[in-house]
Structure 1
Amino acid sequence: MTKSLFLLLLLALVYTMPVAAQTKFKRGDSWLYQIQFSDTGFPGETIQREKLYRIAITGIQANGTVQANATLEGYTATAGNIHYSSGQPATYPLSRDLMFPMLALYRPLSFTLYTNDSVGQPVNTSALAKAAANKVGLEPQWEDAYSAWLKNAAMEINHLFSHFPAQEVVGYQWNTTYWSYRVDSVRKNDIMISGAADREMPDSVKGLTTVSYTLSRDNGSVLTLTAVARLGRGANAPRMVTQVKRLPANTAVPPADTAFYNVLARMAYSSELLTKNNELDSAKVVNFLAVNQPKYGRNATFKVATLNLLNRGRSEFIYELYRNLLKETTTDLIANTPSHLFNKLGDVLWKNTDTAVALVKLLSANQHMLDSWLDQSFSQGLRKHPSLDTAEALKTFRERGVSEKRIAELFEEAEKAPAASRVLLGRLVQEKDSVLRTAVRPMYLWDQAMHTTDTATLKNIAGQFAQMGAAELTLGKAARYQLMVAGILKEAQLTATADQLLDKTLTDLVKNQQDTAFWRTHPELKEKKDANKNILAHAYYLKYQQTAKQDKDAAMNYLGLAAANSPGNNREKAYESFYDRVFLDSKEDYRAEFAAQLNALGKPQEAMKVLSRQLITEPGMVDSARSFFDNHFPGKSFAGYFRDVLLKDWKDAPDFTLTGINNERYHLSDYRGKWLLLDFWGTWCSPCREDLPHLNKLAIEINEGKHPENAILAISCHETLETARDFVKANAYVFAAAHSDNQVEKLYQVAGYPTKVLVSPEGKMLELQFGADYAAILKAYSDIYFQKNKETPVIKVHNKQKD
């Protein structure tokens, strides 16, 4: 169960408490309430929040209903070592999670207290959201999200108007739908009540909520309240504790610096104030900074917010501003911002080793970013590169608008960085932090091997690799560096040692893939597993090359294993594998070569099976597969094979019923008999927005009747239907557009956005890789499918995907 669902379940319990008709209030009454929340969703994860609401009675109707305002005057939050307070500008967060409370400060929510024991929903949430959006430039989807947040926050007001008993007598009890109450004590000025709700929650989880509160006997307002909502019955069950206390009306509340926070909000991702066509506008940014840097330039939060802003830019001008500010920013200000640590490392690496070591140690708090920097960026500087063509580089830099000062720095960096990188690597491998040492040791040994010709030293390095375990293989990319060292050993005529290291690498990688207990315990490292599997495919290919002359049967077996361990679907194409291929000069997929070898051995049907499996991950290879088929099965129909054999082993596309952006209904069955291209997207997704004009161009052709057997359905996700509808309308897009039900993207296992999925006329599906020419693939598959059938050879294919 996710944390957000857990909180919603607890809120559902707490807010079913009935409230009492407040008939004794009078216009002008006002109270200040402190509401404290302690949310413990999972072991070791507790979030504490405090809100200060001022309640003001603004009117009494003849029928007894009461008009009131609830104004948020203060907000604090603590999670781990992070503390935020609206009255302390130095603590203002850059996180968007805490943006909504700040925008809500001093903006009264207007609601009604009815005579039938209910509190009405605030009537002005949309207006408040619009006002905040105009103030800080919220993008439409953020405005919608803020409006929804206001409605949920307003549910907290229920705590302040709890049920008053019909009889002010100790022991009096009464029941409601979910609640049981009892009067515990009656005093001169107040009355104490306790209650409990015991109800069956979703997923058959028992939820238990208890409450105790004290009411004023004068007008029934809450004086204190404590509510405990539990999900489950054990002492360690997740829970939310809410405590309410009425404070003296004249209690001093530290004022928030809303002007400063609004400046920060205008710089956030959620604002479109400084953008044009969804990209940072250089002129707007310069003008904005010219106004605000004199006021806030020395403020640490403002500096980091400015870095965040500039880091989103794509132009050389914006990047230059970012880089200059990053150089001026002290390390302590960016200690908790991995992206800035990453970028600052690139600047100081060749200038100051001590500073670089300090930055790496800070970056190591984020394992993903550390791995990215070490294995995808830093390691590149250690490789031996051919001499730089300075004239060509100078021409390219100037064409891109890089300043002459920056060009000079780049050339100086290119000259000094390799030696500086080796010095830094030597320092890192001696660090006390065992995780950091584990991450750099394989790289360090590879670097040592590159810079020696001494055979004894090379054998010693190979021996050190032989002692490495699972930790280096997973966190230190030992397999990548072992294979590279094996290549160095072979060049040094140490063939036996190289072969031993290759065999050791294969053994390690096979064990690594089979260690299901480890991977089950560490699902966050799935990309590491996929990357190691891709390296395993290359290691088998190297073994194939090694044995090809001596034992052709064994060699073919190794080549088959290389093909079998090539990515089985797009999710197995780990991002970091791109860099592995650069270092190892390996291929992403070895199926084509295996198929070619099978064909050379006179086994075209076996080769066709292999090529069919490759089409799962490389659908763009369909023309190559057809050419192979036509050459080796003359008189047979590739269209028939494609339709009757190959497509049968695609996954079934899950059914769906979705609402269109114009409230029409879409079902998967509507597209039976056509090739359907599904596009999972969102207005919040920059790559999605960039691709939509191309998708729309294809949709126009389909609507004009150029592709009658094709259809497109774009499904917007993680935003409101209205946001998607307004965006599609504003851009005059013509493709059919539906809105996600928050389930369809799960059914289709969408891992990122945009995601394109091709659905066959029979309801079989194939996910297309990001960046694939989906228009060409759609046309090719459609043309083949609807081609007239001829005789089909009997070729059985088993290419089930494993996720």
Structure 2
Amino acid sequence: MPKYLLLLVYLALACSPVATIAQLKFKKNDSWRYQLIVKDSFPPHIVQEVEKIVRVTITGNNPDGSTNAVYVLESVAVHGSGANFKSADPDTYAGEWRIMEFMQLLHQPLEFKIFANDSISEPSNTAAVAKAAGTSLGLPGEMQDALAGNWKFLQMELKFLFPTSPKQLAENDEWKESPWKFKVVNAEKELVEVAGTPEENNSDSVVVTGAISYTLSRNKGNVQKFRSISRQAMRNGKVLTAREVNILPSPPKALPADTAWANTLVRMSRMSNSLKVNGESDSAKIAQFLAVTTPKYGNRLAFKLAKLDIYGSGSEYMYEQYQHALKDLPSAALAGSSSHLFNKLQNTYYQNPDSAMVLLKLLSADGSMLDSWLDQSFAQYLPQHDFDTTEARQEFRSRGVSEARIAEIFEESRKAPAGAQLLMTRMMAEKDSILQVSLRPMSLWNKAMYTTDTAILKSIAADFGQISPAEMTLGKAARYELLVQDILRKANMPAAADALLDKALTDLKNNQADTAFWTAHPELKNKKAANKNILSHAYYLKYEHTKATDKKTALNYLALAAGTAPKSNAEKAHESFYDRHFLHSEENYSAHFAKELEALGKPEEAMRVLSKQLTAQPDMLDSTRAFFNAHFPGKSFNAYFRDVLLKEWEDAPDFTLKGMNNENIRLADYRGKWLLLDFWGTWCAPCRKDLPHLNQLAEEINAGKYPGNAILAVSCQEPIETTRSFITANKYIFPAAHADDKIEKSYKIKGYPTKVLVSPDGKMLDLQFGADYASILQAYSNAYFTQEKEQPSTIKIDNKKKD
């Protein structure tokens, strides 16, 4: 449960008494309508107000003294925290979870009980209501469960509608219900007024302040009006939550909602499977759906936005339809939709700089997405490119791209560099400080590419003299420093190039050591990892430019390049792929270092370096074996692999999971085998795309082709029933289990799909996304199980972290 929801529960318990007025007061068919307004505040910035019109009806009394009742939501409006929704205003609808949660509850009677001991039950039929709505809308089972679970929290709201009744109904009657104390302040013939104040020292750590007042009908027992202002704060004064509740009788007539329109938007959203087959958008279903709905809703902005989601995945045809739908939307309509803004910007920047600037300003609300577009996409179009289009045309045709679209793509590519230069000029004229931080280092590189004037090049190098921590991180200054030093070197300016390379090294080392900056910005940890990878390349460049004059110093730089490289998948950053593209760098320089050590007659040291590199690059086993065999004749690489190398891997965390037939599956069941774990979900498109390959490997293992190997596909973040149905529908035969609430955390799963290799001795190795896991599994299995005549290995690895 999100933290703020948990705080809401505590706050409701703090400001709403549990006991209720004597059940004998309630009679069958008694019914009351209320206007309920709840305003919640979560400092510093979250404020939301929900206004409802509800009806509560007594449906019967039971022999045990309890009373049956139903709660019906007639209308709702939500304001604040980015939400502006009214059930009576179809123009405010969207295919979003929060709106759907309210709309699917409209006019659905939720059943609850008021017990003889003065407590109130949770609504008892939320699962049935959620299942009916979910089945109609194509919602997967876990979303139906989430709806039912959220609706159970309405128990707190029911407590506001049935507050505590004093036992004597007499003036000055007092009682306590921690953390509140109550008193009857006025007792008339028809009405009883109650006031509540917090107890003193009502908690050791959390202090409740505020006031409650309400009026009850003496005869009917129902609340006439209710007001509560309650705040929870720490002893140090830090406010945790604040809530204001007002209940008024006889509200205005509830205006009708357009449920058909609301349901249409849900079916078009990514929450729904209505327009999908096996998790993929289905063009036939979409065409049929749009044929019915476009005449009704085609001119509505929300409908046009929703079309982007239904075209979001699938074939080239679906992609083209997405592009057409995207062009049909004004830029302002995409505010808050970072991925759609990104895609529209990609198709706009070379055509119209002014339109591109509008999109950039909208995208700047998501800083990480803005940086991604600038450094990973836009920067690629700044240089002039001459390339042969033959292979690209063949690739496009093999993917079913139309000839018209292929021609359009190449025309866009032809226009891209000139358009990029116009936009660069336009962006540099902006006074937006955030944009300038992200852009200035790139603009210096761009300027250097298009001049041969040595004076200008020196000036550009000098402009890198004052690089801020933000520019080093958000502006990727080190990438552009290294690119410009290469331009200087090619311009026969070696001294200036060496100086800028040294400057880049200093900037990068200071950046890695800037604990104050990284502590203040934990959300940028991936950028720290990316800069560390650039630092590794900078060391390698120093090696390259030093080895001709000072071999010993150069070798030290190469050792630093190898030592700074990522040591596991956890230390890799996605954006480093783009840095390597621009810099023509490598992810790991250990192989270069090992080669130098070999040349110096130090094969054992070289072997240690290569062995460590396997942890980050598992597909290097064959080259590591070849090096071993060439330099250690008479010794067994397989024995070294089993007895030395594998012992340095991490221990695989233990687990016990439920299989598809509800059987227990344990890690211990695979002792003595190589196990390939695949963490996946039916909701994950890359996972689904890979499953046929995983299934083929499972078929080969079952056929006895790879003895001693096993597969276990672990489905995550979905009900086991969803996984079971998907596997059955696709006739997959690979063994599968369902993740519990521990395994994803213990195996440090950060994305999907993730493959993890577990050795027969219970050691594990992460495999990078896209790795040829079948070949890696077979290679490691052969190395482990194949016995060779051997002499004892004298090579040891020390992967322990040094202080």
**Fold equivalence (TM over 0.5):** yes
Counterpart residue number, 1:379: 379
Aligned mates of 2:305, 2:781 — CA distance in 1 = 51
Identify the range of structure 1 (54-63 vs 500-509) with the bigger mean alpha-carbon deviation: 54-63
Partner SS, residue 25 of structure 2: coil
Match of 1:530 in 2: 529
Measure the CA separation in 2 of the matches of 1:400 and 1:459: 47
Give the whole-Å Cα distance in 1 for the aligned partners of 2:794 and 2:35: 76
**Higher mean C-alpha displacement, 164-173 vs 612-621:** 164-173
For residues 210 and 724 of structure 2, what CA distance do their matches in structure 1 show? 43
Query: For the structure 1 residues 81 and 280, does the alpha-carbon distance in structure 2 shift closer, same or farther, using more than 3 Å as the test?
Result: closer
In structure 2, distance between residues paired with 1:553 and 1:254 = 83
Q: CA deviation at 1:777?
A: 2.4
Alignment of 1:465-480 (within 5 A): 465-480=464-479
Q: How does 1:411-450 map to 2 (within 5 A)?
A: 411-450=410-449
Select the residue among 219, 224, 245 that pairs with 1:243: 245
1:152 matched residue in structure 2: 153
Structure 2 residue runs of 5 or longer lacking an equivalent are: none
Letter in 1 for 2:415: K
1:257 aligns with 258
Structure 1 equivalent of residue 228 of structure 2: 226
SS, match of residue 348 in structure 1: coil
Q: Secondary structure at the match of 1:23?
A: helix
Deviation at 1:508, TM superposition (A): 0.4
Q: Which moved more, 1:523-532 or 1:746-755?
A: 746-755
Structure 2 match to 1:653: 652
Q: Which residue of 1 aligns with 2:111?
A: 110
Alignment of 1:624 with 2:623, yes or no, is yes
Q: Which moved more, 1:560-569 or 1:687-696?
A: 687-696
Flag the 1:737–1:283 CA change in 2: closer, same or farther, 3 A: closer
Residue 104 of structure 1 aligns to a residue whose secondary structure is coil
Q: 1:41 to 1:736 in 2, by over 3 A?
A: farther
| 1:768–1:321 distance in 2 versus 1, CA, 3 Å | same
Report the AA paired with residue 132 of structure 2. Answer: A
Query: More displaced, 750-759 or 480-489?
Result: 750-759
Q: 1:507 to 1:740 in 2, by over 3 A?
A: same
After alignment, is 716-725 or 205-214 more displaced? 205-214
**Secondary structure at the counterpart of residue 764 of structure 2:** strand
- In 1, distance between residues paired with 2:393 and 2:649? 50
Offset of residue 424 of structure 1: 1.0
Question: Separation in 2 of the partners of 1:457 and 1:609?
Answer: 47
Going from structure 1 to structure 2, the CA distance change for 1:219 and 1:211 (only over 3 Å counts) comes to farther
Please state how far the C-alpha of 1:29 moved relative to its aligned partner.
Answer: 1.9
Report if the CA contact (8 A) 2:138-2:274 is conserved: yes
Deviates more, 1:375-384 or 1:396-405: 396-405
Q: Quick one: which amino acid aligns to residue 316 of structure 1?
A: E
- Residues 200 and 143 (structure 1 numbering): CA distance in 2 closer, same or farther, change over 3 Å? farther
- Tell me how far apart the structure 1 counterparts of residues 495 and 27 of structure 2 sit (CA, whole Å): 94
Tell me how far 1:210 sits from its aligned partner: 7.2
Q: Whole-Å Cα distance in 1 between the matches of residues 413 and 719 of structure 2?
A: 49
Q: CA deviation at 1:160?
A: 2.1
Cα contact 1:169–1:183 (8 A) shared by 2: no
**Which residue type is aligned with residue 437 of structure 1?**
Q
Q: Deviations over 1:128-165 (max 9, x none)?
A: 12221232221233223222223334553233223323
Q: Partner residue of 1:597?
A: 596
- Displacement, 1:430? 1.9
Distance 2:217 2:236 in 1: 34
**3-state DSSP class of the match of 2:34?**
strand
Aligned equivalents of 2:62, 2:360: Cα separation in 1: 66
Distance 1:324 1:120 in 2: 51
Q: What do residues 557-608 of structure 1 show as CA deviations (whole Å, max 9, x unaligned)?
A: 1111111111121122211111111111111111111111111211111111
- Report 1:72-91 matches (<5 A): 72-91=73-92
Who is 2:350 aligned against? 350
- The separation in 1 between residues aligned to 2:667 and 2:15, in whole angstroms, is 40
Instruction: Map 1:49-198; keep pairs closer than 5 Å.
Output: 49-174=50-175, 181-188=181-188, 189-194=191-196
Q: Give, in angstroms, the shift of residue 696 of structure 1.
A: 3.9
Q: 1:164 to 1:253 in 2, by over 3 A?
A: same
TM-superposed CA distance for 1:36, in Å, is 3.5
Do 2:184 and 2:192's aligned partners in 1 also have CA atoms closer than 8 Å?
Answer: no
Kept in 2: contact 1:208–1:233 (CA 8 A): no
Aligned to 2:544: 545
Q: Is the 8 A contact 2:48 2:78 kept in 1?
A: yes
Map 1:273-288 to 2 at 5 A: 273-288=274-289
Deviation of 1:490 (Å): 0.9
Q: Secondary structure of 1:466's match?
A: coil
Q: CA deviation at 1:544?
A: 0.6
After TM superposition, the structure 1 = structure 2 runs for residues 744-763 of structure 1, keeping only pairs within 5 Å, are 744-763=743-762
1: CA distance between counterparts of 2:693 and 2:706?
Answer: 16
Q: Deviations over 1:463-522 (max 9, x none)?
A: 112232222211111111111111111111011111111111111001111111111111
Q: Distance in 1 between matches of 2:37 and 2:237?
A: 21
Write out aligned runs for 1:644-683 (5 A): 644-683=643-682
The letter of the residue matching 2:687 is C
Mapped to 2, the partners of 1:246 and 1:199 lie a distance apart of 32
Question: How many residues get paired?
Answer: 796
Task: Provide Cα deviations, 1:362-416, integer angstroms capped at 9, x if missing partner.
Answer: 2222111111111111111112211453x66555555544445544433432332
Deviations 1:70-112 (A, max 9, x none): 1122223333354222222222234334322222222221223
> Partners in 2 of 1:771 and 1:705 — Cα distance?
25
CA distance in 2, matches of 1:459, 1:402: 46
Q: Which amino acid aligns with 1:681?
A: W
Conserved? CA contact 1:86–1:256, under 8 Å: yes
Q: What is the rounded CA distance, in whole Å, between the counterparts of 1:34 and 1:783 in structure 2?
A: 72
User: What's the offset of the Cα at 1:8?
Assistant: 5.2
Matched, 1:337 2:337: yes
Written as runs of structure 1 = structure 2, the 5 A alignment for 1:401-412 is: 401-403=400-402, 405-412=404-411
Q: Which residue of 1 aligns with 2:309?
A: 308
Please give the per-residue CA displacement for 1:37-60, whole angstroms capped at 9, x wherever unaligned.
444445223333333322122333
Conserved in 2, the CA contact under 8 Å of 1:382 and 1:422? yes
SS at match of 1:51: strand
Give, in whole Å, the separation in 2 of the partners of 1:782 and 1:683.
Answer: 29
SS of residue matched to 2:185: strand
Opposite residue 583 of structure 1, the aligned amino acid is: F
Corresponding residue for residue 362 of structure 2: 362
> Tell me, which stretches of 5 or more residues in structure 1 are unaligned?
none
1:483 is aligned to 482
Cα 1:205/1:181, change in 2 over 3 Å: closer
Q: Report if the CA contact (8 A) 1:198-1:208 is conserved.
A: no
Q: Which amino acid aligns with 1:121?
A: E
User: Residues 605, 173 of structure 1: CA spacing in aligned structure 2 closer, same or farther, 3 A cutoff?
Assistant: farther
- Any idea what the Cα deviations from partners look like across 1:519-551, whole Å, max 9, x if unmatched? 111111111111111111111111110001111
Letter in 1 for 2:234: G
- After TM superposition, the score normalised by the length of structure 2 is 0.92
Question: For the residues of structure 1 that align with 2:595 and 2:779, how far apart are their CA atoms?
Answer: 23
Q: 1:16, 1:605 → 2: CA distance?
A: 74
| Aligned-residue offset at 1:316 | 2.5
Amino acid paired to 1:324: H
Asked if the contact 2:53/2:74 (under 8 Å) is kept, the reply is yes
SS of equivalent residue, structure 2 residue 741: coil
Per-residue Cα deviation, 1:155-199 (whole angstroms, up to 9, x for no partner): 5323322332323244544567x6664334242212315376999
Q: 1:697 to 1:374 in 2, by over 3 A?
A: same
Question: CA 1:324–1:501 in structure 2 vs 1: closer, same or farther (change >3 Å)?
Answer: same
Single out whichever of 234-243 and 751-760 deviates more from structure 2: 234-243
Q: Against the structure 1 CA distance between its residues 521 and 142, is the aligned structure 2 distance closer, same or farther, given a 3 Å change threshold?
A: same
Bigger shift: 555-564 or 360-369?
A: 360-369
Does the 8 Å contact 1:199/1:206 carry over to 2?
no
Separation (CA, whole Å) in 1 of partners of 2:699 and 2:176: 62
> 1:144·1:720 contact (CA, 8 Å) conserved in 2?
no
Q: CA offsets per residue over residues 735-756 of structure 1, 9 Å max, x none? A: 4444333232222221112222
The TM-score with structure 1 as length reference comes to 0.92
d(CA) in 2 for partners of 1:656, 1:205: 37
